[in-house]
Amino acid sequence: MVISGKGGVGKSFITANLALCTALMGYKVAVLDADIHGPSIPKILGVHGKRFSVISSGIVPVPGPMGIKVVSMDFLLPSEETPVIWRGPLKFAAIRDFLSKVEWGYADFLYIDLPPGTGDEPLSVAQLIGSLNGAVVVTMPSDLSLLVVKKAVSFAQKVGVRVLGIVENMSGFTCPSCGKTYYVFGKGAGEKIAKEMNVPYLGSVPIDPRISEACDRGEPFVIKYSDAPAAKALMDITRKIIESLKKSV
């Protein structure tokens, strides 16, 4: 599962592109968008507005790029303006149904994108899947993130999920004209937290204006801009995650 202590750190972008990188390596991949109130994975993967198909044995995931199977509340809403006004029990039931009533088929990896914080959805996933292989914690290099990401790491540890590592998103911006790197949100917070909490540091993803553009258009960033430093960083992070998981099997 992919978690964060606060919103606005680009967690869903990281989830979607880790899934894409994994698929590019030849694995079969599925993504569960467990952010019930604010599903954004379909938009990032270019399948926003699609609908589930239903067969006798259950719900069929929406096919995304690189054959990724996508399940999200977005596919059930009548319009993108429709709010989901649910309390905890209903959200638990929805996540349970997504896990148990969907015809996932075979997948080597299931990435679960969770809303910020340590509330109903992360707890529901941890309870419903007793054998989660690990959690990736996404942060950004700011002092505020430094505090809240510790809570996310502690949450994973308390519910018995191994922390695969910390990813620092929006780590710096390199000017295309002069080549100088500017650390807009600060520098090194992710690595510092990893050392303090004694968990792996998976790497940093630099700022790239094309990331926002790709997400808005539903274009897979790591595929369209495969030579970008951010795309290469994401591929490297994905390799580290897979290597870590293989060692634990």
pLDDT of residue 228: 96
pLDDT of residue 249: 65
For the chain, the straight-line distance linking the first and the last C-alpha, in angstroms and rounded, comes to 17
Phi, psi angle pair for 105, to nearest 5°: 70, -155
Domain extent listing, the chain = 2-248
Q: What is the rounded distance in angstroms from the CA atom of residue 93 to the CA atom of residue 168?
A: 32
Element of type H or E holding 62 = strand 62-63
CATH of domain 2-248: 3.40.50.300
Report mean pLDDT in 10-residue bins for the chain, 249 residues.
91 98 98 96 96 89 98 93 92 95 96 92 92 94 83 93 96 86 88 93 96 96 96 98 89
pLDDT of residue 248: 78
pLDDT of residue 56: 84
Task: Encode 54-79: b = buried (16+ Cβ within 10 Å), e = exposed.
Answer: eeeeebbbbebbbebbbbbbbbeeee
